[in-house]
Structures are given as C-alpha cells and as structure tokens.
C-alpha cells in the first residue's frame, strides 16, 4: 500500500526489539506482526492494530476485528 502524495509504503515495518516490548492493550497478551497487512495481531483479543509509517497504532478504536478465518 502506497500513498499518492509520498509514494511510500504506509504499513511500514516493526523493529523486532519493539515487537518484543509491545502487548495488546486489552488482553495484555503478545502481538504478532502481519507484514502482508501491516498489522499487529492480538489472537487473544481477536483484533488487528494498524501500523502506519512504522508506528503501531495501539488504540482499540483503530483496531480491526479479526474474522473467524484469521484466528489461526
């Protein structure tokens, strides 16, 4: 995914050390980075938090609910 204005990837990547420190704000459980979608996935909360320009948006109001086929 790129933006028209900058031509840059809006999903970004997550530093592995940062990922080790982050936890789901609702479940307090671990997160998995889904590079294809540019999201941090919380299996316990069944939510996917967006990553924009390499910055995780850890707000439940910004998270996408996971579908039944995405929990595995």
**Cβ contact 2:36 at 8 Å:** no
Per residue in 14-58, pLDDT (tens digit) is: 888 988 999 999 999 999 999 999 999 999 999 999 999 888 999
For the chain, the structural domain boundaries read 16-65
Q: End-to-end CA distance of the chain, in Å?
A: 24
Q: How far is CA 70 from each of CA 5, 34, 45, rounded to the nearest angstrom?
A: 32, 11, 12
pLDDT, residue 11, reads 53
pLDDT band at 13 (very low <50, low <70, confident <90, very high): confident
- Give dist(CA 52, CA 13) in Å, integer: 9
Topology adopted by domain 16-65 = N-terminal domain of TfIIb (2.20.25)
């Amino acid at each position: 995914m790129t933006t028209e204005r900058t031509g840059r990837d809006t999903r970004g990547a997550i530093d592995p050390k940062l990922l080790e420190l982050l936890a789901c704000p609702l479940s307090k459980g671990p997160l998995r980075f889904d590079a294809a979608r540019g999201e941090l996935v919380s299996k316990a909360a069944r939510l996917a938090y967006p990553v924009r320009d390499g910055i995780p948006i850890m707000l439940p109001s910004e998270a996408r609910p996971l579908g039944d086929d995405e929990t595995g």
